[in-house]
């Protein structure tokens, strides 16, 4: 457990919180959006598994602006 004690939680915790908020907001927006650039299931996997960059990619590339 020395490994967990050596992590600078003051720096890591805000990044984890930002990642969680981006993930939730992107998934909620994806469920409310009717059409996206590409299949929705692909965007779900990108949002979930590409950490912080996945939700950002969804908002920049995945959303279809009418």
The pTM assigned to this predicted structure is 0.81
Distance CA 36, CA 55 (A): 13
pLDDT tops 80 at residue 66: no
CB distance 55 to 22 below 8 Å:
yes
- The number of domains in the chain is 1
The region of weakest confidence among 1-5, 15-19, 28-32, 39-43 is 1-5
What is the CA 49 to chain-centroid distance, rounded?
8
The closest of 3, 12, 61, 66 to 26, measured between CA atoms, is 61
Q: Using the predicted structure, report yes or no on whether residue 55 has a pLDDT greater than 70.
A: yes
Handedness of CA 40, 41, 47, 53 (dihedral sign): negative
- The residue range of the domain holding 12 is 2-62
Q: In whole angstroms, what is the distance from residue 54 CA to residue 48 CA?
A: 7
């Amino acid at each position: 457990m020395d490994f967990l004690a050596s992590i600078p939680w003051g720096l890591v915790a805000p990044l984890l919180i930002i990642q969680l908020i981006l993930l939730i907001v992107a998934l909620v927006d994806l469920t409310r959006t009717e059409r996206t650039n590409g299949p929705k299931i692909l965007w779900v996997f990108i949002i979930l598994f590409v950490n912080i960059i996945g939700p950002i990619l969804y908002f920049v590339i995945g959303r279809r602006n009418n």
